[in-house]
Every structure is written in structure tokens, then in C-alpha cells.
């Protein structure tokens, strides 16, 4: 009975100081991490390399002159 009691005491000490996350949630955390990283990558790629978006100053796609000239 003594070895089991020693192991139980060390397990209880480990629980007090840290966060106890069930092992079953590890695949969920991995999948969510991959999903978030993928979303960040493709959003960056869209904003950085898509020429049809007006994120920065792009005079070739500006229709401001046409709108001003109509008035």
C-alpha cells in the first residue's frame, strides 16, 4: 500500500501547481491550432497579393476621378 500512496501524493502535488488538461482534448487543440494558422496565412495572402482589393493606395483601380468628373 505504501508505493501507491507515494504515487498518489506526488500526483496531488502536481495538480495543485499547474493546469490539468485532459489528454482527450489534445487532438482538438491541435486541429484548432492548424485551423487558426491556416486562416491567418490565407487572410494574409489575400490582403497582400490580391490586386482587386483597395487596402492601400492603388490609383489604377480608383474611380474617384470618374465620380468627381460626373458632377
pTM: 0.52
Name the DSSP class of 18: S
Write down the pLDDT at residue 10.
Answer: 64
Cell readout for 33 is 491550432
Query: How many whole angstroms separate alpha carbon 47 and alpha carbon 41?
Result: 10
Max intra-chain CA distance, the chain: 93
Query: How many whole angstroms separate alpha carbon 68 and alpha carbon 71?
Result: 6
Q: Where along the chain do its domains lie?
A: 21-70
Query: How many whole angstroms separate alpha carbon 5 and alpha carbon 16?
Result: 17
Cell readout for 6 is 507515494
Write down the pLDDT at residue 48.
Answer: 84
pLDDT digits over 24-66, tens only? Answer: 999 999 999 999 999 999 999 998 888 777 666 666 666 767 7
Amino acid at each position: 500500500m505504501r508505493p501507491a500512496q507515494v504515487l498518489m501524493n506526488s500526483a496531488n502535488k502536481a495538480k495543485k501547481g499547474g493546469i490539468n488538461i485532459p489528454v482527450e482534448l489534445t487532438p482538438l487543440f491541435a486541429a484548432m491550432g492548424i485551423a487558426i494558422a491556416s486562416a491567418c496565412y490565407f487572410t494574409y495572402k489575400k490582403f497582400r497579393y490580391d490586386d482587386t482589393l483597395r487596402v492601400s493606395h492603388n490609383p489604377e483601380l480608383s474611380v474617384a476621378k470618374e465620380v468627381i468628373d460626373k458632377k
